[in-house]
Amino acid sequence: MTEKSRLFSRPTRKEFLRGAASAALFPLFPRVSVAETYEAEVSEVAPGVFVHVAPYELVEPTNHGDISNSCIIVGNDAVAIIDTGGSYLVGKALRAAAAKVTSKPIRYVINTHMHPDHVLGNAAFEGNGTEFVGHAKLPAALSARAESYLRTAQTRLGETGFAGTKIVIPTKLVSDTLDLDLGGRSLTLKARATSHTDNDLTVFDSTTGTFVLGDLLFSGHIPTLDGSIVGWLKLIPELMNEKAQRAIPGHGPKSMPWPDAMLPQQRYLETIARDVRTLIKDGATLEQALKTAGQSERDNWQLFAELNGMNVTAAFTELEWE
């Protein structure tokens, strides 16, 4: 296919869903200027484990792209940052927050997956020997979307809010399990099968029993599907069997009891899968599915109206080929 024909060809369903996921994270807002400084508050949920809780919002200039939770874990010798927010400005604020709770160097930045609200703050942590860590499939997934993520973020955040934002792709990759030593504190990273995305990573802090799940766990904020609903439902029991004192969601409160924290999300995904399978069996179209699938869950989730349709589309596209 020539470059010109590629530009004007009809997108595949996979490309459509990729664009829809990006659009959902970055809804249309006018370009405005925002403050050049921003503070990220953190709370200590366990000894040496600090969480920044983001609001249940879509990206807009007033929140600077700060719509997902981030975590700071402090060892005897070094620090790990888990997810960096949706802009350089947010990443810079998170770095400043880390400096307030410890003077130890930031050795690792861990990205739980490739979505822009979790990785676009990476640039604020470059230098001083910091290593960027992610799932083995993250570089390819993020590279494929980099141009779109940056273009959309610049449009939504405005020139001032976007300033300094760039893609920094992890080079320390996890294909199975990896232990990171922070000095007297070990973090166990596990690459997960395709579920929320095809590059989800979890982090377990054995010192405090804290399980950081990124967007494999949503609470309050409706889950978003950009991988496989079949895979996610298969993964959930596996995650729930892992022993932990507390869980930190990618979107939700600063800390949750485990494994009960997963139950509402499991119910939502099971509802979507059941509704979509029934509609497909009855010969319904995607347009019909968008009007009815998952509607029993409407009152249980914030941003339902904005994001449920994307989930139904992704589920319908996957399940119609079962």
For residue range 8-21, list pLDDT tens digits in order: 233 344 444 444 45
234 alpha carbon, distance to own chain's centre: 19
Strands (E), the chain: 43-46, 49-52, 70-74, 79-82, 106-110, 131-135, 172-174, 177-181, 186-191, 201-205, 210-218, 246-251
**297 φ/ψ angles, rounded to the nearest 5 degrees:** -95, 0
Over residues 31-52, mean pLDDT: 81
pLDDT recorded at residue 174: 98
Write down the CATH number for the domain with range 29-319: 3.60.15.30
Please write the tens of the pLDDT for every residue from 66-86.
999 999 999 999 999 999 999
In terms of Cα–Cα distance, which of 7, 78, 79 is closest to 50?
79
pLDDT recorded at residue 315: 98
**Using an 8 Å Cβ cutoff, are 104 and 78 in contact?**
yes
pLDDT band at residue 30 using 50, 70 and 90 as cut-offs: very low
Please write the tens of the pLDDT for every residue from 269-315.
999 999 999 999 999 999 999 999 999 999 999 999 999 999 999 99
Q: Give the strand pairing for 43-46 and 131-135.
A: unpaired
* Cα–Cα distance measured from residue 62 to residue 165, given in angstroms and rounded to the nearest whole number: 16
* Cα–Cα distance measured from residue 10 to residue 15, given in angstroms and rounded to the nearest whole number: 10
DSSP 147-161: HHHHHHHHHHHHHHH
CA distances from 2 to 5, 6, 7, 138 (A): 5, 6, 9, 28
pTM for this predicted structure: 0.90
Instruction: With a cut of 80, say whether residue 28 has pLDDT above it.
Output: no
Q: Give the strand pairing for 79-82 and 106-110.
A: parallel
What are the tokens at 157?
Answer: 């955040």
Instruction: Look at 260 and 20; give whichever has higher pLDDT.
Output: 260
Please write the tens of the pLDDT for every residue from 146-180.
999 999 999 999 999 999 999 999 999 999 999 99
Q: What percent of the chain has pLDDT over 90?
A: 88
pLDDT recorded at residue 37: 73
* Cα–Cα distance measured from residue 143 to residue 281, given in angstroms and rounded to the nearest whole number: 37
